Structure 1
Amino acid sequence: MAKPARTIEVQALVEELQAGCERSFGHARSMPPGAYTSPEFLSLEERDIFQHEWLCVGRASALKTPGDYLTAHIGAQPIVVLRDEQMQLKAMSNVCLHRMSVLLEGRGNVRRIICPYHAWNYSLDGELRGAPLMDRQEGFCKESYKLPAVRCEEWQGWIYVTLDENAPPVEEQLTELSGLIGAYGMSDYIETFYEEHVWDTNWKILAENFMESYHLPMLHRATVGPHSRLEEMECPPGSPAFNYHWITKEASLPIGNAHPDNTRLTGHWRKTTALLAIYPTHLVTLTPGYFWYLVLQPQGVGRVHIRFGGGLAPEFISDPDANAHMAALKTLLDEVNAEDKRGVEAVFRGVHAPLAKPGHLSHLERPNYDFARYLAKKLGEH
């Protein structure tokens, strides 16, 4: 299939982004405003990035029993991920094969997938099991219907899906990251809360906000800002599939540091937090005792759907005070999120200004530079 032609305006915008990414980091600037405001630019992202990359849709521990499911979208494609009867993770199209209604919404548990429109119903492996009155149609063959499978893999306890049959396995793309964070044992962390939100900003503005800690002292001056020591933060160069930075600190809550029973982490790692941005939309704060995350999905240039969740390292799950600590953390995270929401929505208003133009990045915004280079490389790759 031929690629749709780009307009002169969006081609110029991509070239401006790519030219900016050719600068050395010492001379790097933020992305051009049109990268956040152009619907055509978003269409390119959906075609060249979202249709081909592995996308996180949640935590595997959230699907505990056969029939547990969660729903998501890859661009315009609704998908469902579930545990089948053998407790294997399966992903498939979440669209009925009859008149194309969406089948399941949200999260839940089912023994069969039943279409809410005409009651066609499917087994947990996607095979059509029932279609009311269709036996009266001579040309109908139930056995010829099965929901299309979607590639689904698990990495470090996270569920990833892709529509690209040729995408290299997740583990292969994130081998370096697995090595960097292996001692944390993130696979065994248990999700204890999950929410969904929609904010009025561009998805990349929120992603970039997560990636850098330069904004902490000001934007979060009422919460975590006073505890942020910018001079001690490390922002190494990123990799093709992710970027990261470290914060070593004495946590205000016991769950921010390693539990006494944690024998995986030693030395300064027992109080080091990793901030991970796994391209394009999976953002994780990983501490020795807990984690929290955002999974982003654009809903047009000015709205982003957010999957927000978090939980505890296994040593804290059975700790008598874990629930109290987690409740205190959740209260803090809610306050931090409210601050971030105000910040990223203000940036989205600002990038529309006629006089807006990219400014120089600080040394603490190395992840933003790497993210822009990722986008510049991917646009036009397929």
Structure 2
Amino acid sequence: MTTTWMNPIDHQFPNLTKIRITYPNSRVKHARSLKSLLISNSHEPSHSLLQTSQQSARSLVQKFNPKIPIEEALTPPSSWYTSPDFLSLEFDQVFFTGWQAVGCTEQVQEANSFFTGRLGNVEYVVCRDENGELRAFNNVCRHHASLVAFGSGKGSCFTCPYHGWTYGLNGALVKATRITGMKNFDVKEFGLIPLRVAVWGPFILLNFEREAFDDDDVGMEWLGSASKILSTNGVDTSLSYLCRREHTIECNWKVFCENHTDGGYHAPFVHKDLAASFDQLDSLSTTVYEKVSILGPENYDILGSKFLYPFIYPNFVVNRYGPWMDTNLVLPLGPRRCKVVFDYFLDTSLKDDEAFVAKGLEDNWKLQMDDFVVCEAVQRGLESPAYGSGRYAPIEKAMHHFHCLLYQNLMK
């Protein structure tokens, strides 16, 4: 297991809550989705094998029945957490469709700044060009496929370290080395392949599939009717960004998500050292929306509470409590392994209180470490022949909702 801290950033976000969205160049009429690119570039035998593996995975999907009410339902079978074919289907039907959270606006606050990431086998780079426009691209050189950007930072261009092909932050190929004599080559056709990028609150979102370049309401697409509820309950840009932490866990990505969607069921047992902090759990309830479930006090949408624990399908956790907010982005690394990216935010008036910040981060990491241990224990149990499926406690309706949404996506 690995843990790394990134340098703190004390820059305050602008106090804006409106949605801002940027699309790839709409004049490119024949832009293709990621999925269509993958299919068109694959050889027929490989495509046939892909279909076979997906058919096998769909047979596993059918072992869960979303129509059975939670009081009688069985949880998904252990094969959902161990099968490589099943994870492949999840990438295709869940992660490569719709909006996916990938980072924070603070990472590309300034012109010429960028950060990179990976989801499944897709490498991407998000950047803000010299004009301040937010852009995103597949992070793959069009010459011989090397990555062109690494980590995060600032620069006026992306230069491939392999053969020196250079791209502007608008994605255009601006330099192709040693191409004299090359025939039927149009520089304009070999820019970085764009991805659809948007901003909601302090979060940057990518869409790996959609081709339409219209003026969709990203908040409604990503969050459904919970969009306004979250923005009016403290999930917004009013907080200052503090830092990032990453941790690799030996468990399926869904195990970590389920730990958040059990309605607080695990808290008194897993977080014993902080049991006194959970007296309020009995007063909390779970409300389910289209793609979001929220654990919080009753009537939070009326009271304007800043004590909410939303889970945003499929893999994004928000914890909003008092002056703090932290987010957990859960990234699959394999059937039995995931990485969780933690970003921390704090009320601006407290960000310079070093003792308060240090104590808050320490307490939070203790909670996370408790969860890491239990999630890895769950994964080991899922791989045991003694376990097939389990049952839901009624308090776990957010988890049941999560599984039902997965079923719907995976059966498309």
TM-score (normalised: structure 2): 0.80
Question: Paired residue for 1:361?
Answer: 392
Question: Paired residue for 2:225?
Answer: 176
Cα deviation code 1:255-314 (max 9, x no counterpart)? xxxxxxxxxx999645x41111111111110234221011111111011022111111xx
CA root-mean-square deviation? 2.4
- Range with bigger deviation, 77-86 or 4-13: 4-13
CA contact (8 A) 2:229 2:301 kept: no
Q: Does 1:234 align with 2:285?
A: yes
1:79 is paired with a residue whose SS is strand
Question: Paired residue for 2:273?
Answer: 222
Question: Paired residue for 1:352?
Answer: 383
Taking the aligned partners of 1:75 and 1:350, their CA distance within structure 2 comes to 25
CA contact (8 A) 2:61 2:411 kept: no
For 2:329, give the aligned amino acid: V
TM-superposed CA distance for 1:138, in Å, is 5.0
Cα deviation code 1:203-222 (max 9, x no counterpart)? 00001112221101111112
Q: Does 1:305 align with 2:339?
A: yes
CA gap of 1:112–1:190, structure 2 versus 1, over 3 A, is same
Taking the aligned partners of 1:305 and 1:190, their CA distance within structure 2 comes to 24
For 2:325, give the aligned amino acid: F
1:219-368 matches, within 5 Å, as: 219-223=270-274, 225-229=275-279, 230-236=281-287, 238-247=288-297, 269=304, 272-312=306-346, 316-319=347-350, 322-368=353-399
Question: Paired residue for 1:200?
Answer: 250
TM-superposed CA distance for 1:376, in Å, is 0.7
For 2:292, give the aligned amino acid: F
1:66 is paired with a residue whose SS is coil
Percent of matched pairs sharing the same residue: 25
CA contact (8 A) 2:350 2:356 kept: no
For 2:67, give the aligned amino acid: E
CA contact (8 A) 1:62 1:191 kept: no
1:7-22 matches, within 5 Å, as: 10-17=57-64, 19=65, 21-22=66-67
Q: Does 1:129 align with 2:174?
A: yes
Q: Does 1:47 align with 2:92?
A: yes
- Range with bigger deviation, 185-194 or 361-370: 185-194
For 1:47, give the aligned amino acid: D
CA gap of 1:56–1:267, structure 2 versus 1, over 3 A, is closer
TM-superposed CA distance for 1:110, in Å, is 1.6
TM-superposed CA distance for 1:187, in Å, is 2.6
CA contact (8 A) 2:101 2:203 kept: yes
- Range with bigger deviation, 28-37 or 198-207: 28-37
Cα deviation code 1:338-380 (max 9, x no counterpart)? 1111010000000011111333222321110000000011112
TM-superposed CA distance for 1:112, in Å, is 0.8
For 1:63, give the aligned amino acid: V
Taking the aligned partners of 1:277 and 1:83, their CA distance within structure 2 comes to 28
CA contact (8 A) 1:71 1:104 kept: yes
CA gap of 1:138–1:378, structure 2 versus 1, over 3 A, is closer
TM-superposed CA distance for 1:147, in Å, is 0.7
- Range with bigger deviation, 185-194 or 56-65: 185-194
Question: Paired residue for 2:145?
Answer: 100
CA contact (8 A) 2:243 2:343 kept: yes
1:295 is paired with a residue whose SS is strand
CA contact (8 A) 1:51 1:75 kept: no
CA contact (8 A) 2:112 2:127 kept: yes
TM-superposed CA distance for 1:330, in Å, is 0.8
TM-superposed CA distance for 1:140, in Å, is 4.1
TM-superposed CA distance for 1:233, in Å, is 1.7
TM-superposed CA distance for 1:157, in Å, is 1.7
For 2:57, give the aligned amino acid: V
Question: Paired residue for 1:189?
Answer: 239
Extract unaligned runs of 5+ from structure 2.
1-38, 40-46
Cα deviation code 1:99-142 (max 9, x no counterpart)? 10011122222211111111211111011112233245455443
Taking the aligned partners of 2:198 and 2:172, their CA distance within structure 1 comes to 21
Cα deviation code 1:296-337 (max 9, x no counterpart)? 11111011022111111xxx3144754432221111111111
TM-superposed CA distance for 1:148, in Å, is 0.9
1:201 is paired with a residue whose SS is coil
TM-superposed CA distance for 1:240, in Å, is 2.6
Taking the aligned partners of 1:182 and 1:15, their CA distance within structure 2 comes to 36
| Of 77, 82, 86, the match for 2:131 | 86
Question: Paired residue for 1:34?
Answer: 79
Q: Does 1:4 align with 2:43?
A: no
Q: Does 1:64 align with 2:109?
A: yes
For 2:374, give the aligned amino acid: G
For 2:294, give the aligned amino acid: Y
CA contact (8 A) 1:61 1:190 kept: no
TM-score (normalised: structure 1): 0.86
For 1:349, give the aligned amino acid: R
Matched pairs, number: 357
CA gap of 1:11–1:93, structure 2 versus 1, over 3 A, is closer
For 1:216, give the aligned amino acid: A
For 2:333, give the aligned amino acid: Q
Extract unaligned runs of 5+ from structure 1.
249-264
Question: Paired residue for 2:33?
Answer: none
Question: Paired residue for 1:114?
Answer: 159
